Structure 1
Amino acid sequence: MTAVRATTMARASAVTAAACAAVLATALPSSAINSYNATPAPERTEVGALVATWDNDDDPATPDRVDWVCSGTMIDSDTFLTAAHCTTDWPDDVRFYVSLGQDVQAGLDAAAKAHPGDPTAQAEAVAVEGTAHTHPAYPGPASDTHDISVVELPADRLRARWTFTPAALPTAGQLGALGPRGLNTTAWTVAGYGTREALNGPGGQTHPGGGVRMKAPVSFDALNDAWVRLAMTAPQGNGGACYGDSGGPNFAVLGGRRVLAATTITGDTPCYATNVAYRLDTPGARAFLAPFVKLP
């Protein structure tokens, strides 16, 4: 999970070196989050997939590629929260869309048949176009990479296609106030569209699946100034995040309420052990989000 932005094998190019060593993964978007202890999450309608169209040939006049690339969460009626490394290091003509569908890969497959050779029509068949806003200080130092981004969307078009309740954000310093003891007894859930943990095969390790909204339990491991580390080990009953889950939510039940406490950024390469997630209760995260959403 060193890289948690998803691509197809045809687009296996490296992203600019960023905090937490986030690089592009070679994945086969096709159901995921880690397969162990993971289940579908059709009820998590606020969780969505980031879809992109871009130019991948010598004619930049029109886009010729479309794919889902990351996960994220609606945090109000028109704001989709994701990771900065999901919205940077793209060709100049990239366009971003958001889908709140349960199976975005199946939707893209059907759209490819209905609109062959037309990536824009394929994206519009499954998603709503928006405007990305990346933290201006990304990539920052490892202590706080500022790996946070939002996509602003037309609320009326979202309402016409999906019904959802935006995720609740934490209050200022809420995770820090609870501390490791309080967070250790907290119920945590990660969600997203990413691939499964590594499988060994004749050609080496692969990460199958992806493109279906899934969820899995995780447990608290450690808290840093900008990060919360969550254990994904199967013997503890956990699942976890993997490639394509970047920007997706890590929910914590705080005071009996489900709160979007952090967003998935990185972790270990085979997606077996640790999810490193960006805290949303910090001054830096809140300062970035304040122009886009009403903070608690």
Structure 2
Amino acid sequence: MRRTALLATLTTAALAAAIAAATPASAINTYNAQPAPERTEVGALLVQWDRDADPATPDVVDWYCSGTMIDRDVFLTAAHCTTDWAPGARFYVSLEQDVEGALAEARAAGLSPEQVAATVGVEGTEHNSPDYPGNSADAHDIAVVTFDTAQAAELDRRYDFTPATLPTAGQLDALGSRTLEAARWEVMGYGTAEAQREPGGHVHPGGGVRMKAELGFNSLNKTWVRLAMNESRGYGGACYGDSGGPNFVTVDGQRVLAATTITGDGPCYATNVVYRLDAPTARDFLADFVDLP
């Protein structure tokens, strides 16, 4: 499965720097990836932005990250996905299964970038954690896109989805490492595949289609969960473009949105480092936008 994350992580020593200077990541690894058409609450973040001297006419639109609907009018993603854009950037969310295909079809029809964005996604307003980028202990790498009444109605008209279930406060700590290790973990997103060795170096193929993959639990700390995505253990994982996307854990038959993809190793071979949603800082941010369990 491909992933949309900061996926710039390399070694433990480099993790702090990678978190502080996160860059959008990719897609779910191919080891055990499967399409996820049933996970309609998982979507892609599209950005319309300007690359010339006229910010009043944003001239580029494409998908860049992943995320999850956590209410009828709130889409959760990562702050590194919604910051550092040119002035006038506009944010859209699409819950299409094949976003790349939908964008290609709209462009082939001769639509303007603004028309492409509105055809493939629904525009909303981004809100980033005011404490982002934080530090290695707590990156505060969390953001939401909210939709007004008309925009939320358009989402409902286009897509049939049930918002994801957020964890309760400290739920992962309460479950404990043994339970988390035995539980089923799944990562989802629109990102690229793990690095393929080509004559010119590594390339990350694919991306733009919602995928899912099972991965394994490694460890838990104050704000992060480290998840294993080793092919030798039968695990997939996230990659570039999966940033902001969901990592679900199933406990007692309930699928809970435990964390969001933020970073990992550069080739997307081994580790997915995800931001806990049951931690106090994440909950403090989200409380302004949704009713928390």
With normalisation by structure 1, the TM-score equals 0.91
Work out whether 1:155 is the aligned partner of 2:149: no
3-state SS of the aligned residue for 2:163?
A: coil
Report how far residue 23 of structure 1 moved: 2.0
Higher relative contact order (CA 8 A, sep 6+): 2
CA contact (8 A) 2:4 2:238 kept: no
RMSD, aligned α-carbons:
1.7
2:19 aligned partner, one-letter code: A
Report how far residue 18 of structure 1 moved: 6.5
CA distance in 2 between counterparts of 1:150 and 1:184 reads 29
CA distance in 2 between counterparts of 1:96 and 1:79 reads 13
Report how far residue 188 of structure 1 moved: 0.3
Work out whether 1:57 is the aligned partner of 2:52: yes
CA distance in 2 between counterparts of 1:184 and 1:271 reads 21
Tell me which residue corresponds to 1:77.
72
CA distance in 1 between counterparts of 2:69 and 2:110 reads 28
The 5-angstrom pairing of residues 61-210 of structure 1 reads: 61-116=56-111, 118-153=112-147, 154-210=151-207
CA distance in 2 between counterparts of 1:101 and 1:3 reads 16
Q: 5+ residue gaps in structure 1? A: 7-16
1:87 aligned partner, one-letter code: T
Runs of 4 or more consecutive aligned structure 1 residues displaced over 4 Å after TM superposition: none
Q: What are the Cα deviations for residues 13-65 of structure 1, in whole angstroms up to 9, with x where unaligned?
A: xxxx872541256x8xxxx5111100000000000000000001122230110
Report how far residue 114 of structure 1 moved: 1.4
Report how far residue 204 of structure 1 moved: 0.4
CA distance in 2 between counterparts of 1:149 and 1:18 reads 18
CA contact (8 A) 2:19 2:263 kept: no
Q: 1:269 to 1:281 in 2, by over 3 A?
A: same
Q: 1:84 to 1:157 in 2, by over 3 A?
A: same
Tell me which residue corresponds to 2:252.
255
CA distance in 2 between counterparts of 1:44 and 1:171 reads 21
Q: 5+ residue gaps in structure 2? A: 8-16
Q: What are the Cα deviations for residues 181-233 of structure 1, in whole angstroms up to 9, with x where unaligned?
A: 11111100000000000001111000010000000000100101000000000
Q: What are the Cα deviations for residues 68-118 of structure 1, in whole angstroms up to 9, with x where unaligned?
A: 0000000010100000000001011100000000000000001111134x1
Tell me which residue corresponds to 1:4.
5
Tell me which residue corresponds to 2:19.
19
CA distance in 1 between counterparts of 2:74 and 2:44 reads 13
| Number of positions where the alignment pairs a residue of Structure 1 with one of Structure 2 | 280
CA distance in 2 between counterparts of 1:141 and 1:96 reads 26
3-state SS of the aligned residue for 2:92?
A: strand
CA distance in 1 between counterparts of 2:142 and 2:180 reads 22
Q: Identity of counterpart residues, as a percentage?
A: 64
CA contact (8 A) 1:3 1:22 kept: no
1:157 aligned partner, one-letter code: E
3-state SS of the aligned residue for 2:225?
A: strand
CA contact (8 A) 1:81 1:247 kept: yes
Q: What are the Cα deviations for residues 104-162 of structure 1, in whole angstroms up to 9, with x where unaligned?
A: 0000001111134x111001111000000000000001100100000002221100100
CA contact (8 A) 2:4 2:24 kept: yes
CA distance in 1 between counterparts of 2:154 and 2:190 reads 22
3-state SS of the aligned residue for 1:120?
A: helix
Candidates 278, 282, 288, aligned match of 1:281: 278
Q: 1:181 to 1:5 in 2, by over 3 A?
A: closer
CA distance in 2 between counterparts of 1:3 and 1:76 reads 21
1:109 aligned partner, one-letter code: A
CA distance in 2 between counterparts of 1:60 and 1:164 reads 34
